[in-house]
Structure 1
Amino acid sequence: MVLNVVLAFSIVLAILTIGEIVSTKTKAFVPSVFVSATLFLIGYWTILPADIVTQSSFATPIVYLSMYLLLTHMGTLMSVKELLGQWRTVLIALAGIAGICAMTLSIGQVLFGWQAVVAGTPPLTGGVVASILLSNAATELGLPAIAVLATAMYIMQGFFGYPVTAFLLKKEAKRLAEQVRSGEVSFKPHEKLAKENEAESGNKFRIFPPVPEQYLTPYVILLKLGFVAWLAVLASPYLHLNQFVVCLLFGVIGRQIGFLEEKALVKANAFGFLMTVLMAFIFAGLAQATPEMLKEIAAPLFGIIVLGVIGMGIFSIIVGKLLGYTKEMAFSVAMTALYGFPADYVLTIEAIKSMTKTEEEHDYATDQMLPKMLVGGFTTVTIASVIIAGIFVKLL
């Protein structure tokens, strides 16, 4: 079925809008990404064309452009000091990955067999690259059902990750908001921003003067973001890091030296549209999850996910407690393996919005939670899952 581009665009936005409305009405108890994913899945099984997201114009190359710019922008939300201070988050995220592997390779192997857990575990630890590697390897070995399992694992794991993470993040946001309300924590957003600006103006790392306000247009901001993202893509092979990770790092550095503005895409009035592009593209993958596919591999698919989440929770909470994180924050960081960016950002912002009442509470919760979730997502999805997949391909 071929739709008019504007109609396809409107249908996609209607689904995303319904997700937002349900999330707002339920105070993020039912996260928008879960609602939207469910509606897309039902739509693909009934009346929606499988390529509706592509027909709506949310396809490559604009998806990759959005990813580059958004991740560089995310870097402008953090300082070098904040980024380096997230080493505990990295350890907790890795502990969660270890928990997944421990449970699936032990109990999972007994219940579902070696091939199923070897193919299903890497996609559960993170991104699409792991899914593709294991799916291709299973196909080459003449194991079509196992290949389908690897693909379905990547597609379906978010249905577990979204609601569980939303519940955990809401509890954490509520705890942080209550710290501000009770006077236990003093966090003044405007004072903090003034101090940051003052510190940046005297920052020994700043080598670029501020752009005069009359020249700080969306064109200029987007030009600078694009330039930094391009440098990140060029540098990634030499740094032996994923190019999206390098975009985040270069965004942090770009802000530190004064070349990029803080919250760059927000100031360029482009953040909302680019996030819409990325969220729509993520749900396009659900078109592959046909009822026949899910019926064929339902038992190992959902069994491995449940075991993996249990192992992830146990390991991350234990390590998190040793490193001073609450069990909710530690588990949430590990859960980023089930969806990554941008869902980790959306879930965090929705939880904070629903649990805070003042700007002070909102900014404090964002300051405490968002960097952890972003770094956790990159650790699990972008880095750890690829390494795990490279190892497990040889075990299949």
Structure 2
Amino acid sequence: MAQMLAISILLLALYIGEVISARTKAWIPSIFVSGVLFLLGYWTFFPPDIVAIAGIPAAVAVLLIYLLIVNMGTLLSLQELKRQWRTILIAISGILGIVAALFTIGLLLFDFQTIAVAIPPLVGGLVSALIMSEGATAAGLPTLAVFAVVIYVIQGFAGYPLTSIMLKREGRNLLQKYRNDDLPEQKLASDGPADPAEENNEPRMFAKMPEKYNTDFFKFFRLAVVGYLAYLTSVWVAPLFEISPFVLCLLFGIIARSIGFLERHPLMKANGFGFAIAGLLLFVFDGLKNATPEMMLELLYPLFACIIIGVAGMYIFSFIIGKVLKVSKEMAFAVSLTALYGFPADYIITVEVIDSLTKDEKEREVLTSYMLPPMLVGGFITVTIVSVILAGIFVGFL
């Protein structure tokens, strides 16, 4: 198969997923549609190495992981997180609920390695799924390598409808209180965290540099330097303890932005974010090439069992911490559920729920100011930070 034909077919599969997701208002996740198309392709006419033929071999995928995780770190604003400390505790408690449930009830049903592979993709996104899939492959566990990808593909189906139900209940309660003048305080939407897709801050270290010299290549260079420092640090500390360079990439990205070496979302500013995500998605779906129909049937039971047990644990823990922090059980559970999809689905679902509840502009502003900031911060904490850290830890158990 010719390279350009291969990349055209693969990008078409990603595009079809996006179109169907848009048409169904994200009720059918694009990841699920694309994953099904890849499976059907591998079972019919895809060459097993179609992703490598298209130009995304393993070395390129690892490069993209380094760049994307450093970029993730630059999205962290300590100011935003300080304002949403309750949200952070709730999001972390939800993840602890998943871990606790799967390491107790889950271990009664499945072996330790299955649970270890399941948790990071279940509480995270693309990067954590790829870390676990690659780790399982390196450990000689091809079925679990596929399992990590399949959980990532399927988890949104549990998260989307449950989140929508919780947010609608929360929204109705807020509207009733607002109309009765019972809300304790009226927050402004501008008080919440910025949309993670927005990036306005320029790096302080290069503030005096003429814009014409702050080129895309210079942004890529700085990203690469931070990624290399993370890798180098992981090598230096290896004699003392093992730590994934990807976890350090996240930490170094946060530090690099805070000291002014990197701007917020540099990969987006360098016009490389879309390509990086596409390339990484293709490599994740490359893990499905070993998924025979028989293997998929074998994975159905652990897949749905892990999701159901994990979500139940998430609900219990978020309910308890919500009670302690005086946050409604609906909002606490909705924030925890962001672990199953992250940004931008958390933003899309919240806005669509608000649109369905009221057309009044002032009421929409009130609902937005109360509901959107916690949802965005929750998704950021779970998918962007905690899941990568968990993947870095759990991959060492394989």
Into which bin does the TM-score normalised by the smaller protein fall? 0.7 to 0.9
Give the corresponding residue for 1:166.
160
Give the corresponding residue for 1:125.
119
What is the rounded CA distance, in whole Å, between the counterparts of 1:136 and 1:251 in structure 2? 27
What is the rounded CA distance, in whole Å, between the counterparts of 1:298 and 1:192 in structure 2? 39
Give the corresponding residue for 2:14.
16
One-letter amino acid of the structure 2 residue matched with residue 125 of structure 1: I
Deviates more, 1:359-368 or 1:252-261: 359-368
Give the corresponding residue for 1:326.
332
Taking a change above 3 Å as real, the CA distance of residues 297 and 69 of structure 1, as seen in their structure-2 partners, is closer
Give the corresponding residue for 1:272.
274
Give the secondary-structure state (helix, strand or coil) at the position aligned to 2:189.
Answer: coil
How big is the shift at 1:119?
A: 3.9
Q: Does 1:369 align with 2:375?
A: yes
Give the corresponding residue for 2:58.
60
Taking a change above 3 Å as real, the CA distance of residues 35 and 70 of structure 1, as seen in their structure-2 partners, is same
What is the rounded CA distance, in whole Å, between the counterparts of 1:353 and 1:75 in structure 2? 25
What is the rounded CA distance, in whole Å, between the counterparts of 2:272 and 2:263 in structure 1? 14
Taking a change above 3 Å as real, the CA distance of residues 41 and 315 of structure 1, as seen in their structure-2 partners, is farther
What is the rounded CA distance, in whole Å, between the counterparts of 2:170 and 2:215 in structure 1? 35
Out of 228, 232, 253, which is 1:234 matched to?
232
What is the rounded CA distance, in whole Å, between the counterparts of 2:369 and 2:278 in structure 1? 23
Give the corresponding residue for 1:294.
296
What CA deviation, in whole Å up to 9, does each residue of 1:318-340 have, x standing for no partner? 4455454521111333x4xxxxx
What is the aligned-residue identity percentage? 32
Q: Does 1:96 align with 2:90?
A: no
Out of 59, 69, 72, which is 1:71 matched to?
69
Give the secondary-structure state (helix, strand or coil) at the position aligned to 2:55.
Answer: coil
Give the secondary-structure state (helix, strand or coil) at the position aligned to 1:369.
Answer: helix
**Would you say the 8 A contact 1:74–1:263 is kept in 2?**
yes
Give the corresponding residue for 2:148.
154
Taking a change above 3 Å as real, the CA distance of residues 374 and 236 of structure 1, as seen in their structure-2 partners, is farther
Taking a change above 3 Å as real, the CA distance of residues 210 and 189 of structure 1, as seen in their structure-2 partners, is farther
Name the Cα RMSD after superposition.
4.1
- TM-score, with length taken from structure 2: 0.73
Out of 33, 36, 42, which is 1:35 matched to?
33
- TM-score, with length taken from structure 1: 0.74
What CA deviation, in whole Å up to 9, does each residue of 1:100-159 have, x standing for no partner? 2222134x3xxxxxxx4334222111256666777888x7xxxxxxx5653443232234
One-letter amino acid of the structure 1 residue matched with residue 273 of structure 2: F
Give the secondary-structure state (helix, strand or coil) at the position aligned to 1:58.
Answer: coil
What is the rounded CA distance, in whole Å, between the counterparts of 1:210 and 1:365 in structure 2? 39
What is the rounded CA distance, in whole Å, between the counterparts of 1:197 and 1:389 in structure 2? 32
Give the secondary-structure state (helix, strand or coil) at the position aligned to 1:265.
Answer: helix
What is the rounded CA distance, in whole Å, between the counterparts of 1:247 and 1:176 in structure 2? 36
Question: Structure 1: 5+ residue runs without aligned partners?
Answer: 109-115, 140-146, 336-342
How big is the shift at 1:21?
A: 0.5
What CA deviation, in whole Å up to 9, does each residue of 1:280-302 have, x standing for no partner? 11111111210122345654554
One-letter amino acid of the structure 2 residue matched with residue 257 of structure 1: I
How big is the shift at 1:32?
A: 0.9
What is the rounded CA distance, in whole Å, between the counterparts of 1:91 and 1:148 in structure 2? 31
In the TM superposition, 1:196-275 aligns within 5 A as 209-238=207-236, 241-275=243-277
How big is the shift at 1:187?
A: 2.5
Taking a change above 3 Å as real, the CA distance of residues 263 and 10 of structure 1, as seen in their structure-2 partners, is same
Give the secondary-structure state (helix, strand or coil) at the position aligned to 2:155.
Answer: helix
Taking a change above 3 Å as real, the CA distance of residues 234 and 348 of structure 1, as seen in their structure-2 partners, is farther
Give the corresponding residue for 1:144.
none
Taking a change above 3 Å as real, the CA distance of residues 187 and 312 of structure 1, as seen in their structure-2 partners, is closer
One-letter amino acid of the structure 2 residue matched with residue 211 of structure 1: M
What is the rounded CA distance, in whole Å, between the counterparts of 2:168 and 2:386 in structure 1? 26
One-letter amino acid of the structure 2 residue matched with residue 154 of structure 1: A
How big is the shift at 1:244?
A: 1.7
One-letter amino acid of the structure 2 residue matched with residue 77 of structure 1: L
**Would you say the 8 A contact 1:120–1:150 is kept in 2?**
yes
How big is the shift at 1:191?
A: 12
Q: Does 1:47 align with 2:45?
A: yes
What is the rounded CA distance, in whole Å, between the counterparts of 1:192 and 1:120 in structure 2? 37
Give the corresponding residue for 2:126.
none
One-letter amino acid of the structure 1 residue matched with residue 188 of structure 2: S
Give the corresponding residue for 1:338.
none
How big is the shift at 1:309?
A: 3.9
Question: Structure 2: 5+ residue runs without aligned partners?
Answer: 121-128, 179-184, 356-360
